[in-house]
Structure 1
Amino acid sequence: MTPSETIALQYITYVCTDRVGYITLNRPEKRNALNEQVVTELKEALDYAENDELCKVIVLQAAGPIFCAGGDMEYMQQLSHMSFQKNLEDSTHLMQLFYQIYTLKKVVIAKVQGHAIAGGCGLATVCDFTYAVPSARLGYTEVKIGFLPAIEKIFLLRKIGEAKAKELLLTGDLITAEKAREIGLVTEVVAEEEIDFRVAEMAQKLCTQNSAQSMETIKEMIAHVQELPLKDALEYGAERNALSRATHDCQRGFQAFLEKQSIVW
């Protein structure tokens, strides 16, 4: 399959190849730092990818040696002198980005080719899978400058639990990619020369072996079920279990299994 038309915004590019949509942070001269425009463009690219019929899995990656250094400090300093309402609008804008990734219908894989710091680590955290090179360092350094990882920590807590989250958030230390893998922040550490292939391989595995409908529903359920009391969560699970049996994908899968046929999604 040939690539679809590339969409090039000021700081973000998008292209879909072989059912994998690649969203690239393209602000290497600023270490791919986040400001209002970068966040806006990321939200636009994610929305486009989610609705792109040619795209089944999304890869979030970055140009240059740094994945994302977090917030653009010049921009943040300017905001700090503005009104609470302006700062709340900007904070809400960022919150919407993280929530969008977390609840996106399609699986999102982060390819961390360099350091992911503060909000950049938040981007790596909120993705469904995170692959990192051995030289990458990850962490939430906000405490060192009197700031708060107030939005990112919500997803970090869900991903690695309270004890490990406290260690990262309260020390502000950067950790190695291998340490991040040990605590569940990173899915796999891959050699720099192999990470493009490994991420593409994983994306193709999800594309060809799994039902898009099932992956979408599982993501939705994981996001929702943690908010429910145990009994409500079980009832919710039973309801979704029953509903899934009537879907086209499930019936197709049942039939292929019974007929001992392989199925390519």
Structure 2
Amino acid sequence: MENSLVLYQVNNRVAEITLNRPEKRNALNPALVEALKSAFKKAKEDENAKIVVLKANGEVFSAGADLAYMQQLQGFSYEENIKDSNALKELFETIRTLPKVVIAQVEGHAIAGGCGLATICDIIFTVPEAKFGYTEVKLGFVPAIVSCYLMQKVGETLTKKLLLSGELFTAQEALHYNLITYVTKATEMPLMVNNFALNLCNSASGNSLALTKQLINNTSNTWLDSCLTEAVKTNARTREGDDFKKGIAAFLAKEKINW
């Protein structure tokens, strides 16, 4: 089990889903995305789990896309890129629509796709030292899928600021933006998250939590499906472009990109 990309355990009705690729800074690749989807589906069906906590082993929550996989993407066809983008969309939608509250326990940097993974959770705890950022534009990517969720969460003006600049920002800034919920000292994080989860378990109806989350999602869902469909296509088109290939090549070579 220790060799698994994702670890799953339940204690006191709290399911913990743990990214377990610390040697790669929990970078996302197809295998990890599929493992996460399977873990969340397991949590959905697990009668012993009422609340879900998403966390990560290692010093980084998730650094975004895996470097080796980024190299492979350069040779993908449009159809293969559509399939790959759909996989990430399906993971995010699995978390968003899960009929259980999902708490992100972010104890390290959350960058690009890793920031998107945290963004989609219902409640987000982070340590003061963590940095966040949707850095895709700096590499010739487009933060397409996460843009749909971020717009709903923080509004158009702030979404443009965060996605167009691609700059990193602090945990306190993320709190100010209403992107996250709590900033907690590292030494207090496990206890704070566990107490928050147990309080939900003991003080709220599971059915009520599920229906409330569904109601909030449905209220803001008038255009989400069409946005995500277009986002997947945009991802695929972008990956066929010269800027994407230039950005990835420079990033892998650790060279400054002159746009």
Shift of 1:225: 1.6
Matching of residue 205 in structure 1 with residue 199 in structure 2: yes
The corresponding residue for 1:244 is: none
Shift of 1:9: 6.4
TM-score (normalised: structure 1): 0.82
Counterparts of 1:45 and 1:25, CA distance in 2:
10
Shift of 1:111: 0.3
Q: For residues 92-151 of structure 1, give each alpha carbon's deviation from its aligned partner in whole angstroms, at most 9, with x where no partner exists.
A: 011000011001000000000000000100011000000000000001000100101100
RMSD: 1.3
**Number of residue pairs matched?**
223
1:143-222 pair list within 5 angstroms: 143-222=137-216
Counterparts of 2:29 and 2:146, CA distance in 1:
16
1:1-265 pair list within 5 angstroms: 10-228=4-222
Question: Any idea what SS the aligned residue of 1:54 has?
Answer: coil
Gaps in structure 2 of 5+ consecutive residues: 224-259
Counterparts of 2:165 and 2:92, CA distance in 1:
23
Question: Any idea what SS the aligned residue of 1:49 has?
Answer: helix
AA at the equivalent of 2:80: K
Question: Any idea what SS the aligned residue of 1:151 has?
Answer: helix
AA at the equivalent of 1:157: M
Higher relative contact order (CA 8 A, sep 6+): 2
Question: Any idea what SS the aligned residue of 2:61 has?
Answer: coil
Gaps in structure 1 of 5+ consecutive residues: 1-6, 230-265
Shift of 1:222: 1.2
Q: For residues 191-229 of structure 1, give each alpha carbon's deviation from its aligned partner in whole angstroms, at most 9, with x where no partner exists.
A: 010011100011011100111101101111111122459
Point out the structure with max Rg over C-alpha: 1
Counterparts of 2:163 and 2:89, CA distance in 1:
18
Counterparts of 2:49 and 2:23, CA distance in 1:
29
AA at the equivalent of 1:47: K
TM-score (normalised: structure 2): 0.84
Question: Any idea what SS the aligned residue of 2:10 has?
Answer: strand
Counterparts of 1:39 and 1:227, CA distance in 2:
24
